[in-house]
C-alpha cells in the first residue's frame, strides 16, 4: 500500500510539473504559435499514427467528397 501511495504521489508531482511548464511556455509565448510541449505532442502524434495505422484494413464503402467554394459557384 505504501508503494502505491508513493507512486501516486510521484505521478501527481510529475503531472503538476508538466502542467506548470506548459502554462509557463504559454504565457512566455503570448499565445502565439505552438509551445514546445505542443510541438512535441504534434510530432509524436504523427509518429504514433504512422506506427499504428493500417490502411489495408480501412473500410472501402466510405468516400470523402470535398466541395470548395469555387466548385459551388460554378454549379
* DSSP reduced 3-state for 68: coil
1-54 residue pLDDT tens? 999 999 999 999 999 999 999 889 888 878 787 888 889 999 999 999 999 988
Q: Residue 11: what pLDDT? A: 97
State the pLDDT at residue 55.
84
Question: Any idea of the CA torsion for 11, 13, 14, 18, to the nearest 10 degrees?
Answer: 140
Task: Report yes or no: 23 and 34 within 8 Å, Cβ to Cβ.
Answer: no
Amino acid at each position: 500500500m505504501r508503494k502505491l501511495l508513493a507512486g501516486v504521489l510521484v505521478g501527481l508531482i510529475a503531472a503538476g510539473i508538466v502542467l506548470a511548464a506548459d502554462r509557463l511556455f504559454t504565457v512566455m509565448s503570448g499565445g502565439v504559435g505552438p509551445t514546445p510541449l505542443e510541438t512535441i505532442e504534434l510530432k509524436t502524434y504523427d509518429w504514433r499514427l504512422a506506427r499504428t495505422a493500417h490502411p489495408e484494413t480501412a473500410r472501402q464503402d466510405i468516400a470523402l467528397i470535398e466541395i470548395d467554394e469555387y466548385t459551388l459557384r460554378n454549379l
